[in-house]
Chains A and B, each alone.
Chain A
Amino acid sequence: MNITVLKPGMHTLLQDAGRYGYQHSGVPVSGAMDLFSHRVANIVAGNHGDAATLEMTLQGPRLEFADDALISICGADLSPSIDAEPVPEGKAVCIRAGSVLQFGTCRAGCRAYLAINGGFDVPAVMGSRSTYETARLGGLQGRALVKGDILRAGARQTGLYPGLNQELSRARRAFAVPKWSVNQHVEKLGRVPQVVRIIPGRHWEAFAAARSLLTDSAFRIAPDSNRMGFRLDGPAVRLEKPLELLSEAVSFGTIQVPPGGKPIILMADRQTTGGYPRIAEVASVDLHLLAQLKPGDSLRFELVSLAQAQALYLMREQEMLAIREAVELHMGL
């Protein structure tokens, strides 16, 4: 099963849930910025484990499918179409051999995820297929897609969505989709300012005077933001007095503040350690909303406790199970 890259899109990368087990060697976790959409795309495409998906940012690629395939697209609305006909997100899509999937304007969010049944077939490097460009690790030769690349998919599981396959063979259309779709939180993607929940960080107390600025002001995603980190424009959040810190480990969602007072939220390609004071940590359940913000978008922070954040996390995992069960009913398994 081959897919030819006719146009690569702005920054299209193979990602999975990330490369764990090597942070003590300084190897970043990487992985999908919006893990929620990545996971839902895999569930809908009928993948059981953590298959690699294509992370497409703002401007998606143009892809030609050599064979029939079962795919799904979740996350940002990048106006996907197959042979010029709009194709809905959050649904299983049976695409006909020879068809071309392409993307148009970004209408909501920033990053969309394309999953294919069987998974994109690239070797796992240090246990993950995620692309980490700085060290040229994982993905397709450790880099973003370029024109002319051939993506391969693993063996397709037969018998999934029997109704869709029948419809594809009857109709003349380039693809077939079901009536149902999954709840993928798209309704939240266009919300301005986006509300992102945080919990106090390691140095919350050292920001005693300035920390209310974090929760009472709106911030904007600065232009020099990327998969490593989002820089925030807004009021300067300064320490009471300078802190001499030794480097320590950081997480996905750590909000650190360099001396200038301009906070940085660490994202998927973050370094494993950092030496700036950390004012707060983004609650994991809201990281997917953050990942859908683009430079210029505004956000606000809302303080919750660690216990609340973990309770929300456990609820989200229950929701994931419920989504999987609901989708499997449609799959005909």
Chain B
Amino acid sequence: MGDRALVIEFGDAADPVLSSHIAAVAQHMRASPPAGVLDIVPTYTTLAVHYDPAEVEDGDSPYEALAAQLASWLEKEPPGSTVEGRAVEIPVCYGGEFGEDLDALAIRNGLQPDAVMRLHSAARYHVHMLGFVPGFAYLGGLDPRLATPRRDSPRPKVPAGSVAIGGSHTGIFPLETPGGWHLIGRTPLRLFTPESEPPCLLNAGDTVRFVPIDAAQFASLSRGQP
């Protein structure tokens, strides 16, 4: 991928075991990266290694040299390794001003708003990867009955903490950004805290459960946030 990054392919379909393995490889590699490596980014099926060609050892052809180093590194990685994910509970206040698209999404899918809430909070989601904006987790495991095509025109501003559905995905918006997903609720938790290590509440390999809360609980939890 260009002259300053290479991509290692591990498979071709979204699968929690696969993305969890790639996250584990990334984590181990990050602990002692080869010379010249700047960033190691696990995704659904690939691992991207960003590097500075001038800093790679034995660099007549930096790409060939780094690819060879990574290949021998991968041979030592246990084949079935997975990252030790945490189980994270995300409190969500569904509907109303916190999720203005909840009712419309329910009608569209032939469900009661309560049923949307129940189905959404009953599932256990898997964090495949992070991307889009800081702290945004790509979650797998949305009940197919909740899948809804994206809005025709994206909102210019989606509030931080919004819990939303877009296509067959659900996700949480860590920052106020534009977005074409349907807003069904909001969490008072901060997903991205630059001064913390790690800076993100969710990381690849974690599992997520949404826990319904009411407006009063939302307010009191918001006060507890820095």
Q: What residues of chain A have their CB less than 8 Å away from a CB belonging to chain B? A: 20-29, 125-126, 134-135, 137, 199, 201-202, 246-254, 271-274, 278, 281-284, 306-307, 309-310, 313-314, 317
Contact = CB atoms under 8 A, between A and B. Distances in A.
A281 B1 contact: yes
A200 to B, nearest CB: 10
Interface of B: 1-5, 7, 14, 26, 30, 38-46, 48, 50, 53-54, 59, 61-63, 129-136, 138, 174-175, 177, 192, 194, 198-200, 203-204
4 nearest A-B pairs in the assembled complex, by CB-CB distance: A273-B131, A249-B48, A281-B2, A309-B3
A66 B41 CA distance: 44
B14 A26 contact: no
Contacts of A246: 14, 43-45
B136 to A, nearest CB: 5
Contact of A249 (B1, B14, B177): B1
Contacts of B177: 134
Nearest to A27: B134
A247 B61 CA distance: 28
Grouping DSSP codes into helix (H, G, I), strand (E, B) and loop, the A interface class, with mixed when no group exceeds half, is: mixed
B3 A248 contact: no
A313 B134 CA distance: 29
Contact of B130 (A26, A137, A281, A310): A26
A137 B192 CA distance: 11
B134 A310 contact: no
A249 B46 contact: yes
A23 to B, nearest CB: 4
Given A24-B39, A248-B48, A135 B175 contact: yes
A254 B2 contact: yes
B2 A273 contact: no
Given A247-B138, A249-B7, A310 B53 contact: yes
Contact of A247 (B30, B43, B135): B43
A135 B134 contact: yes
Contacts of B61: 307, 310
Contacts of A20: 38-39, 50
27 contacts: A22-B39, A23-B39, A24-B26, A24-B30, A24-B204, A25-B134, A25-B200, A126-B194, A134-B177, A199-B3, A248-B44, A248-B48, A249-B41, A251-B50, A273-B41, A278-B1, A281-B2, A282-B2, A284-B2, A284-B3, A310-B53, A310-B61, A310-B63, A313-B4, A313-B53, A314-B54, A314-B62
Given A248-B46, A248-B48, A25 B39 contact: no
Nearest to B55: A317
Nearest to A271: B132
A199 B2 contact: yes
Contact of B3 (A21, A23, A281): A281
Contacts of A271: 131-133
